[in-house]
Amino acid sequence: MNIKITLVLVITIGAVLALGDPVSVGVSGLGEPNVNILQVHVTGKVKWFNKSRGFGYLTRDDGARDVYFHVSGLKKGVDPDSLAVGVRVEFDVVATNKGAVAKNIAIIGSDD
């Protein structure tokens, strides 16, 4: 009698990211088929934003290096006009060939 056993290993993205290793996955909403996700749900503030050029930098609450962002990294429905200095945001950090970039940027409040 032959018995075939198949093991299925399921790892969620959140569990993998908790280990601290970059993960290459296809993620809807990031606008790219495969990206190396470095961190998710990072919080911080708009350090500066050049509306006419469509990019700026975010200061992270965890004290890590500031992160570049482009308006293409804003979540659907986020108005670029609302990105004033000090506005609180949540975002994901992904690796690109030019360094870390913020994606999935959402406004979570202002620093009044």
58: CATH: 2.40.50.140
Structural contact between residues 88 and 111, judged by C-beta atoms closer than 8 angstroms: yes
Mean pLDDT (whole number) for 62-76: 96
pTM above 0.75, yes or no: no
CA-wise closest residue to 80 among 91, 69, 90, 92: 69
Q: Considering the domain boundaries, does residue 30 fall inside one?
A: yes
The rounded distance, in Å, linking the Cα atoms of 4 and 79 is: 55
Tokens of 98: 């030019």
* The predicted structure's pLDDT at residue 104: 97
Domain housing 37: 13-109
Per the structure, how many domains does the chain have? 1
* The predicted structure's pLDDT at residue 109: 81
**H or E element that contains 40:** strand 35-50
**Alpha helix (H) ranges present in 7-103?**
13-18
* The predicted structure's pLDDT at residue 58: 98
Q: Which residue has the higher pLDDT, 40 or 3?
A: 40
Q: Considering the domain boundaries, does residue 1 fall inside one?
A: no
Q: Considering the domain boundaries, does residue 62 fall inside one?
A: yes
